[in-house]
Amino acid sequence: MKVYEDCSSFEVDTEKLKPRGWARRPKHGEQYGKKYIAEFAYDIEELFNVGKSDSEKKLNARTMLERLRRKYPKRYTLPSETTLKQEISKLFDKQKKNTSKETASGDNNNRSYAKFPEIYANAFKRYMKEVEDASTIKPKEAYDKLVEDYTDENGRLPSDFPSYKQGTSKFSGMKTSYRKQLLKEIL
């Protein structure tokens, strides 16, 4: 056969071959990178915010992907549903952090907890002064005394009255600082 005879002397030019490993694929999840999703970040956030303002218009990842396909009909590389779910989760977390800081204390002063009412803190200080050794008072006892003092004749507490957990942890913190102060005075 003539074709076989022609090919028998053929040699592959090794200089033109690519080095070993040139066609390796990136690891799972690293195919497109952060820049890839950054192109769509504004659109994703916009779609998310539509649902934030009106809960009936909330979109899941699949619907967001369909909207992105309509917006970019000739685009081949769109984020996957999984990537969109991750971005939605990030936006939810971001939203939670922002709202908890703003609403917990009524103002946005980067405090993620409500300020303990000063009137009750002063009452705790009074209880500590009444006793010879304030370190012997248990937080539960102090809270019970606070409830007893601030309960009105109908058995109701004021609207800004701290919960059991808030009261006991506040008293516990005050007691710790009282002990530290005593140690400084002794030393």
Query: Domain residue spans in the chain?
Result: 30-104, 118-186
This prediction's pTM: 0.41
Q: Where are the alpha helices (DSSP H) in 54-131?
A: 61-71, 81-104, 118-130
| pLDDT digits 0-9 by tens, 145-160 | 889 888 888 888 888 8
> Taking the mean position of all CA atoms in its chain, how far away is CA 53?
20
- pLDDT mean over 41-59: 85
- Using DSSP, state whether 22 is helix, strand or coil: coil
The CA distance from 117 to 140, in Å, is 18
Residue 112 has pLDDT above 50, yes or no: no
Residue 70 is predicted with a pLDDT of 93
Instruction: Supply the mean pLDDT for the chain.
Output: 81
Task: State what percent of residues in the chain have pLDDT above 70.
Answer: 87
The CA distance from 75 to 68, in Å, is 9
Residue 101 is predicted with a pLDDT of 57
Residue 62 has pLDDT above 90, yes or no: yes
